[in-house]
Amino acid sequence: MASPSVAILDYGSGNVRSASRALERVGADVTVTAERDAIARADGVVVPGVGAFAACMTGFAAVDGPRQIGYRIAGGRPVLGICVGMQILFDRGDEHGIDTPGLGEWPGEVTALHAEVLPHMGWDTVSPPADSTMFRGIEGERFYFVHSYAVQKWEFPDDPFGNMSSPRVTWTTYGSPFVSAVEDGALWGTQFHPEKSGDAGLALLRNWLETIS
């Protein structure tokens, strides 16, 4: 059986080497690229992100990221956003007084954490829903975070007709609760870095690969 192909979108903002090594360790055939055809062909695409929301969106737009990822999401093709790569999937980010539009795949705003010490850096627990696929077998594990901003209010609207399945939302508390992961069909996101989270992170990436292989 062929290894699932994963393209890591290279837009100048993200820890692509660590992500590439981690995905290769769990059996993916990895390419780091911003090339449109490679992004379209891949079984799964990872959107990394490190730094400020506005800077990430600038780099993302420069490689036509919104359209490339938008096409995949519209077609129900797997995408995994990591750290700021997850944040930009929301409506907007407000950092240092700079209000920047995101992709708007999920309603919500990325804002500063309410904590005495920032950034939130190090290992922390998560509280996934009982039916999580992302955290299957690793529900009680700890994951590695490095961030000062997050989505702290989940604003996904209810479906009055009952035709849509609601995203599965995972929470972590640091000062106050924030969204630490989302599973929404083929679209997944993590605020923490699975590629830096040891065996637990590798298990999570393996769970993701199992959904696309």
Give the active site residues: 83, 193, 195
C-alpha 204/C-alpha 208 separation (Å) is: 6
Alpha helix positions (H), 63-176: 65-74, 84-87
Helices (H), the chain: 16-25, 36-41, 53-62, 65-74, 84-87, 198-212
Comparing CA positions, the residue from 29, 48, 44 lying closest to residue 78 is 44
Angle subtended at Cα 98 by Cα 92 and Cα 101, rounded to the nearest 5 degrees: 25
* Pick from 152, 69, 65: nearest CA to 114: 152
17 Cβ contact list (under 8 Å, min separation 6): none
Pairing state of beta strands 44-47 and 79-82?
parallel
